[in-house]
Structure 1
Amino acid sequence: LEANDCCHMAVIERYGVEGNIAYGFLQNFGLKEGAVASSVGHDAHNVIVAGMEEGSMALAVETIRNTHGGVVVVQGGKVVASIPLPIAGLISDLRAGEVAEAASKVKEAWVAAGCTLPYMGFNLLPLSVIPEIRLTDKGLVKVPEMEIEPLFKSV
């Protein structure tokens, strides 16, 4: 792997049931610095975050927590774009025009951050019915076998 070809990824259970957090790596995502996060991670709609450093990832997740859901782009240690989704972490309470404006800013910031996978594709990363491997709040899932695989194996 090239130095900037891989970023950290986490899926965080957001319902307070089990408190699961699973960690992994995301290759070829294109993110060069900062972090992106969303509370729309399908199918359980857990929080999904990808980033190059922990501080940016923490800021993105904290922003989602404070707005009770949303989509966030962090660059240079600051939130540069976001869409609050306070209704079940999936729906905005803003007027349509305001949502469209915020979505446009998020899309621009997403691309400017270097992300090569569109936002909607990012939300599918934890969807454990799409082959081959998915990261859910329970861990790394080998989809065809429906088995949870450890990120690292002991030798």
Structure 2
Amino acid sequence: MNYFIIFLMGALLIYLSYIDLREKRIPNMIIGPAYIASTFYNLYLFFNSRENIVYSNFLGFLFAIGLMLLIGIISKGGIGGGDIKLYGLLGLTFGFQTVLKIIVFSTIWGGFFSILLVLLKKKKLKDSLPFAPFIMLGFLTAVFTRL
């Protein structure tokens, strides 16, 4: 993995987590340019890399978007559109294997904190939580377990 890209995505996820905690939304004004930058990154990889990373990245994007849309439909809005787009961005940037790890780790982090908040009576079982912070924690866990 490219450490510069990891750093940029980490910074973006920290910022988006802050916004999601404060406003309970992930702005398209931030996600849109990030998708454009990731697309250019993939074009760079395509023309300058000996590996077929771009195919994994495209597959990661399709997998993340498809899975999260399915979860959103089945759960009747249990996951927000911003979170779906954020997972897609991570898939497009880091590929299938990494986005799969991010999904698993962020689900574990989200479940852990949800149970903790319910046990501490800070939230009720039906309450929603902004999920970008857990996606960020899942990303960091996936990246640091790979290094």
TM-score normalised to the size of structure 1? 0.25
Which structure's residues are more often helix, by fraction? 2
Higher strand share: 1
Higher relative contact order (CA 8 A, sep 6+): 2
